[in-house]
Amino acid sequence: MGTKKRYSMRMLSLRVAVAVIVVVGCAGAAYVLWSGAVQQETVHSKVLTEARTLNKEMQAAWDYIDEAQTAINTDKDGTYDFKNVYCAVAGKGIARRFTQNADGYVIRYVRENPRTGSDAPDDFEQRALNHFTVGGSTEYYEMAEMDGQPVFRYSSVLLVRNNCLDCHGAPAGEKDVTGFIKEGMEIGDVAGAVSMVIPVKSYVKGAGEEQTRSLVFFVGLALVVAVVLSLLLRRWVAAPLEQANRQLASENEEQSNFLAIMSHELRTPLSSIIAFTDIWDKSDREKDPEEERLVGKIRDNSHTLLNMVNNTIDVARLEAGRLEVTLDEVDLVDVMGAAMAVAEPLAMKKGVTLTKSVDSAIPVMHSDGEALRKILVNLATNAVKFTDEGGTVTVSARMAERGGAVELEVADTGAGIAPEDRERIFEKFSQAKATAGSGAVGAGGRYDKAGKAPGSGLGLYLVKSLTERLGGKVRLRSTVGKGSVFTVTVPVESTEASTDEEDGIRG
């Protein structure tokens, strides 16, 4: 028993540990997914902020050159002298120098109808120009890959302003001061776009390192929680359970001893009383009729009490896990004979016709013969007890239609059982209600003509429990006023799993 308890505690600890590991694993996986999404969003937000900052710096340089055009192209004496320095040239020069000095960064200016080959857009830049032309936001960006490295592509629109008209305004087709053909644009038209390529490798690496640190912290915290939880479970759950198990084992031992005492102190005297009545009945001396009646009542009531004591002890042993179910080879003819030896004297005394039959096709069963005998005894004696004089009780055994199982059937011609009582009568200490004017209400919970219940209400509970222990089931068909039929179906080859010591059945 101690080994079994320790094994149970180890199993409990193992199951708790597995549960904690599974929970921590699932939480860790969820955290990785969640933090990955958060880190990706963080990288996107940081690189977008950098792109917007660079765009503002490039736009500031562009605006400065644009505003300084007059000063640049006017000599000290006020003579206009174009120096070939204007916003586009300055912007492209700054972008080129920045691109050369910044590893992985690219800044360039593109337009729909490029004046030079360097202004021609690639696929991303063309999508950006189309987006700006249709209208909407003034920026366009996406994550991409260049030369096998992750990058962030960003583009910002360049709109035609007043100072742009000298080179790009009307009349279309005329050469501007730089020698290029004017496009005839108007203020607010899309002149082009600034395009940037920003490497994100450093951002991704930083995010990965941050995620790793967070994951290590999370796993460490989870392990600490798991250890603390295990210690608390051991102290507040496992230890009290061990104490409770020790107490239950002590109580079971006391109950087992009590049942042994009950078996000896009650059944032995009752058996002796029955034996003395049998000796008296077989004696040759002349017997007074009143004396015979009284002794007969002693014998009958002793049999009834012995049966009640047996059922009570069996139920107590069953619920205490001490009623063994021993599987062995069983000849159902012998079991039926032993059960009828108990029921036939009751039937003869009441004037009830009791018949029995066993199908010759039933093979030798692998079951518990004593359990089958108790099932038949309880069903048959109940049926006889609650069937009026002149009635019939039939006990039969046959192979089930689907094979592999045997059907034990006990049918009586009693008053039947009301529908509302058919489930309840299988409960412990349950009694069906008496039907007005009937001498029998139904087996296991029926009343005699005086309206008294002669049984303890344990017979059918024991029948159902034993049947289920053998892997079978009980069915009831009953018609009020016509009788009842109890059918017990048990397998030919029982495999009563609850005999395993771990389930505490054998004790």
Who wins on pLDDT, 372 or 25?
372
pLDDT of residue 72: 80
For the stretch 79-97, pLDDT in tens is 877 777 777 788 888 888 9
Beta strands in 160-278 (DSSP E): 190-199
For 376, counting Cβ atoms within 10 Å of its Cβ (0-12 exposed, 13-18 middle, 19+ buried), the class is buried
The better pLDDT of the pair 79, 471 is held by 471
- The SS3 of residue 463 is helix
Q: Residue 455 above 70 pLDDT?
A: no
Residue 247's pLDDT band (boundaries 50, 70, 90)? confident
Q: Judge residue 141's burial from the number of C-beta atoms within 10 Å of its C-beta, 0-12 exposed, 13-18 middle, 19 or more buried.
A: buried
Most confident of 224-228, 248-252, 402-406, 454-458: 402-406
Per DSSP, what are the bridge partners of residue 175? 181
Q: In angstroms, rounded to a whole number, what is the distance separating the alpha carbons of residues 41 and 47?
A: 10
Task: Give the per-residue pLDDT at 177.
Answer: 76
Q: What phi, psi does 326 have (nearest 5°)?
A: -105, 115
Q: Convert the pLDDT of each residue in 133-155 to its tens digit.
A: 887 789 999 999 888 889 999 99
Q: What is the pLDDT of residues 83-136, one digit of tens each?
A: 777 777 888 888 889 989 888 899 999 988 887 777 899 999 999 999 998 877
Among the listed residues 165, 252, 152, 255, the one whose alpha carbon sits nearest the alpha carbon of residue 200: 152
Q: Examine the pLDDT at 2 and tell me if it is beyond 70.
A: no
Residue 441 CA to residue 412 CA, distance in Å, equals 11
The residue written with tokens 């690496």 in the block is 205
- Average pLDDT across the chain, whole number: 80
Q: Is the per-residue pLDDT at 485 higher than 70? A: yes
CA–CA distance, 254 with 242 (Å, rounded to integer): 18
pLDDT at residue number 429: 62
Distances in Å between the alpha carbon of 491 and those of 220, 362, 372, 459, 473? 55, 11, 12, 21, 10
pLDDT at 439 over 50: no
Which residues on neighbouring strands pair with residue 484, listed in sequence order? 412, 478
**Spatial distance between the Cα atoms of 178 and 116, rounded to a whole number of angstroms:** 13
Residue with more model confidence, 134 or 372 = 372
User: 475 forms bridges with which residues in the sheet?
Assistant: 487
Q: Which DSSP symbol is given to 359?
A: -
φ, ψ for residue 343, nearest 5 deg: -80, -30
Mean local confidence (pLDDT), 450-457: 52
DSSP states along 130-182? HHHHH-S-SEEEEEEEETTEEEEEEEEEEE--GGGHHHHSSSTTSB-TTSPBP
Tell me the mean pLDDT in the region 70-85. 79
38 against 98, higher pLDDT: 98
Give pLDDT tens digits for 263-298: 667 777 878 888 888 888 788 878 888 888 888 888
Grade residue 445 by pLDDT with cuts at 50, 70 and 90: very low
**Closest-CA residue to 204 (of 141, 139, 153, 152):** 152
pLDDT tens sequence across 143-190: 998 888 899 999 999 988 877 787 887 888 888 877 888 888 888 888
Q: Does residue 342 carry a pLDDT above 70?
A: yes
Residue-level pLDDT at 405 = 94
pLDDT of 505 higher than 60: no
DSSP-assigned letter for residue 284: -
Is residue 235 over pLDDT 80?
no
Q: pTM of the full predicted structure?
A: 0.48
Cβ atoms of residues 281 and 295 within 8 Å: yes
Model confidence at 345: pLDDT above 60: yes
pLDDT at 12: 65
What per-residue confidence (pLDDT) applies to 502?
A: 36
CA end-to-end distance (rounded Å), the chain: 8
Q: Which H, E and C letters describe 38-107, residue by residue?
A: HHHHHHHHHHHHHHHHHHHHHHHHHHHHHHCHHHHHECCCCCECCCCCCHHHHHHHHHHHHHHHCCCCEE
Cβ(203)–Cβ(46) below 8 Å: yes
Domains for the chain: give ranges and CATH numbers: 103-199 (3.30.450), 311-503 (3.30.565.10)
**pLDDT given at position 496:** 58
% of the chain with per-residue pLDDT over 90: 27
Q: Is the pLDDT of residue 444 over 50?
A: no
Q: Quick one: tokens of 27?
A: 């939480």
Residues 6+ apart with CB under 8 A from 364: 329, 330, 331
